[in-house]
Every structure is written in structure tokens, then in C-alpha cells.
Amino acid sequence: MESVAVVTGAARGIGAAIARRLSSDGCAVAVLDLDEEACRPVVAEIATGGRRALAVGADVANPDAVASAVEQITHRLGAPTILVNNAGVTRDNLLAKMTEEDWDTVMGVHLRGSFLMSREVQKYQVAAGWGRIVNLSSVSALGHRGQANYSAAKAGLQGFTKTLAIELGGFGVTVNAVAPGFVDTDMTRAAVARIGLNFDEVAAAAAAEIPVGRVGHPDDVAATVSYLCSTESGYVSGQVIYVAGGPKL
């Protein structure tokens, strides 16, 4: 039977790769991002493969928007049983220069957004007696200069993941987190550009420190998410998997 998956922050980058991968796995996919129009190219690409997809615009930090989005998805695609909380933003700065808005924006999208989306979708998962939630953390959860807000949010998602795994496991729902390392995305490129560095040089330096000898790509992350959303992963829950080309702990 076709599962309905919701992927947040899916208009581009890692989220888009996850949406495409879950579609190829046989899911109907709600491609959700702040701007509905930005989701349409991904939806069109999925549709050319003969799969069902829906573009949805919503601010994941807004409870009314989340409730409306999930209601729309349920009406048009079916009850969602897979949720990938990928939506994210960065507002990098050193602590002394970080504003309250920088802090609140990052916490709102990553933590509040994942909470609101999970709370809304879990009722359909519990009713079905089966579900998968995957939260996107980051190696920055281990600490990264200039990212006190982002690191705290990503570390928070790991605690959130482990708690939901305990609460929802008895209902057939697994909850895991994926923590990417250096991945070549628009967001990564923009972050490098903001500090005035050359991306290719930064990527080459990063690759030299990564055991597998290269930086990551969105499809690397999507492949791991695919497994965690599958029926075969039913005995894996409450885990944080670092997709970073080598050990990070």
C-alpha cells in the first residue's frame, strides 16, 4: 500500500533529495516549504516519474499553518504516516553578536517546527499503528564556532528524537535522527559566501579531513533517510546516525 510522506524544507537541497528518494521508494510525497511555488519544480519532477506529489506552503513554526497544511495533505494525498522534519535556517554569528531574533528564528524553525509537525502527524500514525519520523540534526550538534543557536537546536532535536521514540514506540512508530556532516547544498554555499571564502577551497579542505575523502551530497543523506522510513527499519528507533563520511563521536 502506498504510504504518504511529508518532507519539510523540501523545495531544494537535502529536502528535495529526500522527497525524490521517498517517491522512488513508492510513497506519495507532500513537498512542504515556506513558499509553495518553490516546491512546484520538485513536484513536477516527481510527477514525471508517475508518482503522486503535492506542493504545500507553510511556516512550520506556526501552529495554525501546520494544522492547515496537514489537513490539506490528508484530504488530497491521504493520511500521512511518514514525516521527515528537514526544514531549517541558519543565522550564524558569534555569541556576543547574536541577536534574540537570530536565536528565536533558528529555534522556531528547527525545534518548534519539528514539535508542531510531529504532534500533528503522530495522530495519523497512531491510528494506523505504523509510522516513521526522521528528524534532521547535524554534526553541529557537537558544537561549532559561530553557531550557538544552530548547534543548540540540532542537539535539542536529538533529545526530542529519543523522547518521541520512547513515547511512540508502542504504537508502531519509530523515530530517528540523521546528522549530516559537510554536504554540498545551497545553504552550505551561502554560509561559506557570507564569511567571504571560496567554496571550492573550503570543500577541498573539508574533504581532506573526512575519512572517505570527499564531502557529502544530498543523495547521501536521502539514502539513509530512505532506510529509516522503510518497513525493514522497524527495530531501529531513538538513534542518531551521522552521515558525515567518518566517525564524529
* 239: nearest Cα among 155, 95, 134, 139: 134
| Residue 150 among the catalytic residues | yes
At 87-142, the pLDDT tens digits run 999 999 999 999 999 999 999 999 999 999 999 999 999 999 999 999 999 999 99
pLDDT at residue 183, as a whole number:
94
Question: If you average pLDDT over residues 19-31, what whole number do you get?
Answer: 98
Per the structure block, which three cell numbers stand in for 35? 513558499
Above 70 in pLDDT, residue 157?
A: yes
Catalytic, out of 124, 150, 227, 242:
150
pLDDT at residue 192, as a whole number:
86
| Cα gap 165→79, rounded to integer Å | 20
pLDDT at residue 197, as a whole number:
87
83: helix, strand or coil: strand
Q: Is 64 left (phi over 0), alpha (psi -120 to 50) or beta?
A: alpha
HSE at residue 245, side-chain half, CA atoms within 13 A, is 16
One-letter amino acid for residue 51 of the chain:
R
Domains of the chain from N-terminus onward = 4-181+218-242 (3.40.50.720), 182-215 (no CATH)
Question: If you average pLDDT over residues 161-183, what whole number do you get?
Answer: 97
| Cα gap 46→240, rounded to integer Å | 28
User: What's the chain's length in residues?
Assistant: 249
| Cα gap 133→15, rounded to integer Å | 14
Chain-wide mean pLDDT for the chain? Answer: 96
* pTM summary value: 0.95
| Cα gap 107→24, rounded to integer Å | 32
